[in-house]
A and B are shown apart, each in its own frame.
Chain A
Amino acid sequence: MTEEVRTEFHQLMDEVRADLVQMGGMVAEGISAVTAALLAGDIGGADQIIAADDELDLLSLEAEEKCVHLLALQQPVAVDLRTILTDLRMISEIERSGDLVTNIAKAVARLHGVELEPRVRGLIDRMRQQAVKLTAMAMDAYAERDAGLASVLNDMDDVLDDLHNEYIVSVFASHELGKMEIQHAVQLAVVGRFYERIGDHAVNVAERVEFLVTGELPEHLGANRARARREQDEM
């Protein structure tokens, strides 16, 4: 005997869910598009990506407005409360990933005319692959309320972290062999950092999904240390 008695409220929550999934999709597509522009030195394509971030910002604001509205008017509790809190945190994570895509796009012009070694190009493409995969998986976990899927993201992010380290070594090896100016090497290193950060945001999203589903806040090593210290001080 299941009878929905707050249909409109739950419909509005579903709308926010759809908005967030759409935003996550835009970020995942943006990562691939900006990587193509970077590898092709396509400044025009990069400019389009920068302009497209405005749309993501607008969607973020609209989704946040909906959440504020739901909190103020519907007194959500239990899973509804956790959903809206998760949505609010996720909006920032996705919006920030969008900014990182924009940052990569801005680097395209600065790197114009720089010849990238095949190894560096290959590593950029693999970082793209991992960043897209993590973002898509985090959004799938959110859309499907899949805590199991969400729980594997942290470990999967190690792959991207390792690629990032390997990439930095390759970039500076290129410089040391005299194939690249230092300012371009630094610029490329910063670009690698943007991919790595996108992976971190996907992990954050996954942590919030686990909270949404289980009600348990994520374990946090630093917080645990501080709590242990506080308890020791109180003794």
Chain B
Amino acid sequence: MTQEPDATVPEVTVTAETAASQHTRIDVSGAAAAPMAANRADTQTVFHCDGVHVYYADFLALRNVSLNIAAHEVTAFIGPSGCGKTTFLRCFNRMNDLIEGARVEGSINYHGVELYQDEVDPVEVRRRVGMVFQKPNPFPKSIYDNIAYGPRLAGAKRSELDDIVERSLTRAALWDEVRDRLKTSAYGLSGGQQQRLCIARAIAVQPDVVLMDEPCSALDPIATGRIEELIAELKTEYTIIIVTHNMQQAARISDMTAFFSVQANEMGQRTGELVEYAPTSLIFTNPDDPRTEAYITGRVG
């Protein structure tokens, strides 16, 4: 798969004018080519999170998370069930807005824009920050229409759609398998193919970031291997944040790993927290925090 010449990281600009308008504009037109980061010192920060708390009504689900997500890297979130890793992932495209009573405190800054300020349009955020879910969830439509759906909504011309569909499916390493049956139902694909279709659908609207919530947990090892390979290729164009229960998967595919843990209070309420955030190679050879080590070596259930 080759990188498209127009693949760039959008610059997000907020001017006094735009900030004052009803929605903050996220400008993709004057995008400068992103330098491929040779080392971490040069990497551009996509998300800057500072003191993030997430509540579901009165219940504190995630406490005080501060970390930066670097561009063109794969960042993995690992940790036991209930540690808040999926909750945190869903903060990045304001998916938690859809849950009654969910509230995010603290700062999540996306390319200089406060994601949770009132002026920001969550629909626009979700176009820039796509998502792939645990279970493949194609629309009950043809393969073609699954991919074309988002671009059509975004106003793509009919004449552009064929190109977008082919390009997206090619990037998701699915084109050769489906090119002759684009008009057939997406439900006819295997589980692994459906998941790659969902990845193709996510990238069809040219997002900046792709969030993945346990994208391989319903797949067999071969299909998992294909998705992992795909993730490695996609990171040249996109920033990827992945939640996984499979620690070996996090070790194989990610550049940075965040380990979350969970603590119960005297009422039995379980609140997640970030324990350690470091380069993946360090987390899996010599983690700093004994809780990380205990978890990844299986000494704590």
A residues neighboring B (CB under 8 Å): 1-6, 9-10, 75-82, 215
Contacts and interface: CB of A to CB of B under 8 A. Distances in A.
B299 A2 contact: yes
A148 to B, nearest CB: 18
A6 B300 CA distance: 9
Contacts of A78: 283-287, 292-293, 296-297
A9 B301 CA distance: 15
Nearest to A3: B301
A215 B299 contact: no
A9 B296 CA distance: 13
B232 interface: no
Contact of B286 (A3, A76, A215): A215
Nearest to B264: A1
Interface in B251-294: 251, 283-287, 292-294
Contacts of B299: 2, 4-6, 10
A82 B285 CA distance: 7
Nearest to A83: B297
Q: Is the interface of A mostly helix, strand, loop or mixed?
A: loop
Given A75-B248, A77-B247, A78-B293, A5 B298 contact: yes
A3 B297 contact: no
Interface string B226-266: 00000000000000000000011001000000000000000
Across the A-B interface, the 4 shortest Cβ-Cβ residue pairs = A215-B286, A6-B298, A3-B301, A77-B284
Given A78-B293, A78-B296, A5 B301 contact: yes
14 contacts: A1-B300, A3-B300, A4-B301, A5-B298, A5-B299, A5-B301, A75-B248, A76-B297, A77-B247, A77-B251, A77-B296, A78-B293, A81-B285, A215-B286
Given A78-B296, A82-B286, A215-B285, 11 more contacts: A2-B294, A3-B300, A3-B301, A4-B301, A5-B301, A9-B298, A77-B247, A77-B285, A78-B283, A78-B287, A81-B284
A29 B292 CA distance: 40
A6 B286 contact: no
